[in-house]
Copies of this chain bind each other. A is one copy, B any other.
Amino acid sequence: MIKKNKSKIKVIPLGGLGEIGKNITAIEYADEIIVIDCGLAFPDTEMYGIDLVIPDITYLLNNSEKVKGFVLTHGHEDHIGALPYILKQLNVPVYGTKLTLGLVKSKLEEHNMLSDCTLVEVKPREEVKTENFRVEFIRTCHSISDACALAIHTPEGIIVHTGDFKIDYTPIDGELIDLQRFSRFVKQKVLLLMADSTNVERPGYTVSEKIIGENLTRIFGTAKGRVIVASFASNINRVQQIINSSLSYGRKIAFSGRSMEKISNIAIELGYMHLPEDQLISVDDINKYPSDKVTIITTGSQGEPMAALSRIAYSSHKKITIEKGDLIIISASPIPGNQRLISKVIDELFKKGAEVIYNALEEVHVSGHACQEELKIMHTLVKPKFFMPVHGEYRHLKQHELLAKKLGMDSKNIFVLETGQVLELSRNSAKKSGTVTSGSIMVDGLGIGDVGNIVLRDRKHLSQDGILTVVVTIDKASSSIISGPEIITRGFVYVKESGNLLNEATALVKSELDTCMEKKITEWSIIKSNIKRTLGIFLYNKTGRKPIILPIIMEI
């Protein structure tokens, strides 16, 4: 062990900077590393066929003996979703609050690995201790219950990581953000603040969750038939408010959608959600009650094609069919990239005769992240020596830098990092100090990391212009064509509509092959590349498209 490093702290974001998703940050001191969160990201539009993305933890694996555990801020997918994949490679204890661990537990059970993992529950204001670190959990508000910020006490000073937070003075569960605790840090001199940047572009304050509940109750009052509400399953306080609104009109509640059923179950079991047992009904039984006595709470608020709301909209849901008089409430706002999907679902619901309320029409959703005025409160309470904006795309981090500067912070004390960059801190100094291996590991079906850029490039190419396979069987000895050439296409052109195109293409390949045979070219790779070139030019001139051309020579 190199002793001289002992006086430096390293903050190493392995994900979550310059992106929304896969939040994971290593804090290293001497021979110890603790890791904040372990999230996944959803694939971006260029990641064809990819199911989800997890962080590259090469750095942690290379230093595995140092890693003391994961400390979790809250139970959202972008903070816990990669755990089942990562714990398989690096099995260390996981610390978090009750609900957060409840959600982790359910994930590990699905991956059949719960018994191999160590989960340790921590309450707000409690601490996790290692040789060099004391990690204190501090209650915050967010769009999931039991969210915490972390104060990481190190020999060089305190690092405050806000997690995802907002300031809600009237939270549904009565659990206020622990502003007192944040304010007491001023005396202890916080070395580094790492704060949520998601909503830094938005002026003002985030509306209280309570307002949404009042709006929901008012809207429920107008409903003549069933009410079907789509929301995020993990937004337990929102679901609680939907339950409350329903109960106040004597409506029974049914949950629909796998994650809605699962998370509600966990939340009820752990005491985070309250629903009298006799008010909960199965989706199978909704038709046993009058329409105006039923509420269905469902997944699919993002228009996901396989989720319950989409299936309801497109009449492919086995148990729920839209009836005239149904009122649908989409209690969520579209995540960028999902607008078109959710728009189509809304249109479809209207066409089926339902009334649909969504955020453009009524305030039925509120964000879980702090807007500018809330961020100012956090900065002002904590008053850190150094600041590092986290949890945001690069422009959010830059805007957060600007906000800190406007509050009087010296720009040389603000560090906008990218994933993989290292911030090195001592009690008096901070500087960017190199980079470590980091990146995205793509999960596709059962494969983890077996789809890379070449496969993605091919998938993109295939999706644009399709593929054209040319097969020919050649007798190498006599240099003669035994069978073929045959052309088979997928995704290129509708064969019935393509007229003589493929016949002409086949003839062209035939003549190209004849030329090669005449010239006694026996190097298959040259023949293939000649076919590709000639055919490529022909097809582009005829169709303006460039399909993947796959020449296959069968040799006998």
Contact = CB atoms under 8 A, between A and B. Distances in A.
A462 interface: yes
Given A336-B340, A446-B542, A462 B467 contact: yes
A45 B45 CA distance: 10
Interface string A466-493: 1101011100000000111010101111
B339 A339 contact: yes
A394 B473 contact: no
A469 B466 contact: no
A532 interface: no
A339 B469 CA distance: 36
A395 B328 CA distance: 13
A493 B450 contact: yes
A189 interface: no
A460 interface: yes
Interface string A524-553: 000000000000000000111100101010
A132 interface: no
A407 interface: no
A490 B467 contact: yes
Contacts of A114: none
Nearest to A469: B469
Contacts of A486: 552, 554
Given A347-B18, A445-B545, A556 B482 contact: yes
Contacts of A223: none
B347 A450 contact: no
Nearest to A493: B450
A360 interface: yes
Contacts of A393: 343, 347
A554 B455 contact: no
Interface in A289-346: 336-337, 339-340, 343, 346
A469 B201 contact: no
A226 to B, nearest CB: 19
Nearest to A463: B463
Contacts of A201: 360-361
Q: How large is the interface on A (under 10, 10 to 19, 20 to 34, 35 or more residues)?
A: 35 or more
A555 interface: yes
Nearest to A460: B463
Contacts of A45: 45, 340
A555 B484 CA distance: 8
Contact of A545 (B350, B447, B463, B542): B447
A15 to B, nearest CB: 16
Interface string A39-75: 0000011001100000000000000000000000000
A463 B339 contact: no
A111 to B, nearest CB: 14
Interface string A486-509: 101011111001100000000000
A340 B343 contact: no
B462 A463 contact: yes
A467 to B, nearest CB: 6
A288 interface: no
Q: Which of A446, A459, A460 has the most CB of B within 10 A?
A: A459
A363 to B, nearest CB: 12
B450 A458 contact: no
A1 interface: no
A464 interface: yes
A395 B469 contact: no
A221 interface: no
- The 6 A-B residue pairs with the shortest CB-CB distance, nearest first, are A445-B544, A463-B463, A462-B462, A446-B544, A458-B491, A336-B339
Interface of A: 18, 44-45, 48-49, 201-202, 336-337, 339-340, 343, 346-347, 350-351, 356, 360-361, 393-395, 398-399, 444-447, 449-452, 454-456, 458-467, 469, 471-473, 482-484, 486, 488, 490-494, 497-498, 542-545, 548, 550, 552, 554-556
11 contacts: A48-B464, A337-B340, A350-B395, A361-B399, A458-B490, A459-B464, A462-B466, A469-B469, A469-B552, A472-B554, A473-B556
Given A336-B339, A450-B493, 19 more contacts: A44-B340, A49-B465, A49-B491, A343-B393, A444-B465, A444-B543, A446-B544, A447-B544, A452-B497, A455-B492, A459-B462, A459-B464, A462-B462, A462-B490, A469-B550, A469-B552, A471-B552, A473-B482, A556-B556
